[in-house]
Structure 1
Amino acid sequence: MDALNKLLQHPIKPARPKLSVGLAQDKDAILEAQRLRYRVFAGEMGAKLPSRIPGVDEDIFDRWCDHLLVRDDNSGEVVGTYRILSPVNARRVGYYSEGEFDLTRLQHLRPRLVEIGRSCVHPDYRTGATIALLWQGLSQYMRDNGYDYLMGCASISMADGGHGAASLYHRLALGEKSCLSPLEYRVFPRCPLPLEALRQDVPAELPPLIKGYLRAGAWICGEPAWDPDFNTADLPILLSMARVDSRYAKHFMGSRD
């Protein structure tokens, strides 16, 4: 009993996870990432994910992409992931974003334009440390390959019918501190979120991922698209590596020397 009392008075704190980041090196590692994606997108968000394998999120883009993984080295579990499509492979399969947006005005960037997507983090690991490692991995990938631009669809939940998403877009794009891109980088949604039919004045919290993009210096390149499979409003995001704030780069993306 004495030992039990001491344990109750001074409980053992769980060890901090030891995290590492790197690209998937084989099909088994990619499968781990796809299972995490299914857990988050289908299990938490209710997305409709047709798949050959139960519990696995996969599509035609996966085989053309590099898969960035954050792993808990203590358990071996994949706890965070990004999917990365290089310009070379985008010439073969196209960009995922082209299904949601007309990207004509970004045509001149394609040789230097990387697309990121399918980003997710295990619910027990949604901390700054995990996000920072994902960003560091992305930064290293860009530096190693000499690419200059990152593009992606940043998702906002439409659980409230889309009013929060419309309000966030109004605030970010049309507010006093607009994050809209210059006109020459604008893209256009193929299935637009019906902004005129939605409230644009409701309080809404900015998703951490989008907040991170904007802090790094990313632009919003136009109005959001509605993704019915994921039931999200997707903002087109473009980040020039030349615009990344040096303090942000040092803290979240590692040294750029």
Structure 2
Amino acid sequence: MLLKEERVAHRPGRNLHVGLATSPTEILEAQKLRYRVFAEEMGARLSTRTPGVDKDIYDPYCEHLIVRDEDAGRIVGTYRILSPVAAREIGSYYSESEFDLTRLRNLRERMVEIGRSCIDPDYRTGAVITLLWGGLARYMIENNYDYLIGCASVSMADGGHLAASLYNRLQEEHLCPLEYRVFPRTPLPLHALRQDLDAAPPPLIKGYLRAGAWICGEPAWDPDFNTADLPILLPVSRMDARYAKHFMGRKD
């Protein structure tokens, strides 16, 4: 899939650009970044055959959106993208390992899955996620897709109380209509957890919600990453006007 590159001067010494990985070397570098963030920083238990590389059965079917610091010669941010065609080829979306997506079956031909979002710790100032979001938006427009889905993770370092409280707070305003509801295969045991903590959404989830995304049901527990995963659905038609203008160039 074609995706035009975009460049931005982040600050002196950082010349960033976003685009789809075009070589196995770039994909491998993105997978190494994922390993450093997920395994070494966050403590995830990754089932990988190659030391220092986060790779699973979905990676060969995905396109890999990357942000590169050209001056430093390194990849500093990444998303992986699973198109509807690729999902048919492999037989499922990654999200289906965590959620029953039956109610989204009518959207599948127009539905792109995103995941494995991560940013190098030295670059978490907003510019990289802005470029990634812009790259995703252009990907959707250039390929005429209408829906983004994914799993947004919340740390369970405290046993899950923060995640349960966050879901309890967000469901009041951001829960999707019933026809788009999905169901966790391994539910977070909300009844056994506190749900009254003052839980602020992580930056990525906050960005999804500001853009117009829905939460599509209760969180699932991912024991390998030790996270509670919220199912996210963003119809392009619901995208907030400010985001649409910034990322997609819309005038309406």
- Measured against the shorter chain, the TM-score band is over 0.9
Q: Is residue 75 of structure 2 the alignment partner of residue 81 of structure 1?
A: no
What is the rounded CA distance, in whole Å, between the counterparts of 1:121 and 1:142 in structure 2? Answer: 21
- Find the aligned partners of 2:163 and 2:179 in 1 and give their Cα distance: 24
1:221-236 aligned at under 5 Å gives the runs: 221-236=216-231
List alignment gaps of at least 5 residues for structure 1: 1-13
CA distance in 2, matches of 1:128, 1:254: 18
CA distance in 2, matches of 1:180, 1:202: 19
Counterpart secondary structure, 1:167: helix
Residue matched to 1:179: 174
Paired with 1:131 and 1:248, the residues of 2 have a C-alpha distance of 13
Using structure 2 for the length normalisation, give the TM-score.
0.93
Q: Which residue of 2 aligns with 1:114?
A: 112
Give identity over the alignment, percent.
70
Distance, in Å, in 1 between the alignment partners of 2:225 and 2:76 is 21
Give me the whole-angstrom Cα distance separating, in 1, the residues matched to 2:177 and 2:67. 34
Q: Give the drift of 1:73.
A: 1.1
For residue 122 of structure 2, give the secondary structure of its aligned residue in structure 1: helix
The C-alpha deviation readout for 1:93-140, integer Å capped at 9, x for no partner, is 110000000000000000000000000000010122111100010011
Q: Secondary structure at the match of 2:145?
A: coil
Counterpart of 1:151 in structure 2 is 149
Alignment of 1:123-142 (within 5 A): 123-142=121-140
Q: Secondary structure at the match of 1:69?
A: strand
Deviation at 1:254, TM superposition (A): 4.3
Match of residue 8 from structure 1? none
Tell me the number of residue pairs that the alignment of Structure 1 and Structure 2 aligns: 240
Please give the root-mean-square deviation of Cα atoms over the aligned residues, in Å: 1.1
Report which of the two structures shows the higher radius of gyration computed on alpha carbons: 1
Residue type at the aligned position of 2:249: S
- What amino acid does structure 2 have at the position aligned with 1:237? I
Letter of the 2:100 partner, please give it: D
Equivalents in 2 of 1:223, 1:16: separation in Å?
43
Choose which of 23, 45, 67 in structure 1 pairs with 2:20.
23
Corresponding letter in the other structure for 1:77 = R
Aligned partner of 1:3 in structure 2 is none
Q: Which amino acid aligns with 1:181?
A: C
1:15 Cα deviation from its structure 2 partner: 2.3
Q: 1:18 & 1:159 partners in 2: Cα distance?
A: 35
Counterpart Cα distance in 2 of 1:41 and 1:256: 35
Bigger share in strand: 2
- Answer whether contact 2:13 2:71 (CA < 8 A) is retained: no
Distance 1:80 1:167 in 2: 29
Q: Which runs of 5+ in 2 are unaligned?
A: 1-10
Deviations along 1:153-211, one digit per CA (max 9) or x if unpaired, are 0000000100000000000003xxx1000000000000000000000011222110000
Which amino acid counterpart does residue 159 of structure 1 have in structure 2? A
Alignment map for 1:191-202 (pairs within 5 Å): 191-202=186-197
Tell me the CA shift for residue 16 of structure 1.
4.5
Contact 2:219–2:228, Cα closer than 8 Å, also in 1:
yes
SS at match of 1:49: coil
Counterpart for residue 33 of structure 1: 30
Partner of 2:161: 163
For 2:47 and 2:235, how far apart are their aligned partners in 1?
33
Q: How many angstroms apart in 2 are the aligned matches of 1:256 and 1:63?
A: 33
C-alpha separation in 1, matches of 2:41 and 2:188:
22
Normalised to the residue count of structure 1, the TM-score between the two structures is 0.91
Distance 2:78 2:114 in 1: 10
CA contact (8 A) 2:141 2:248 kept: no
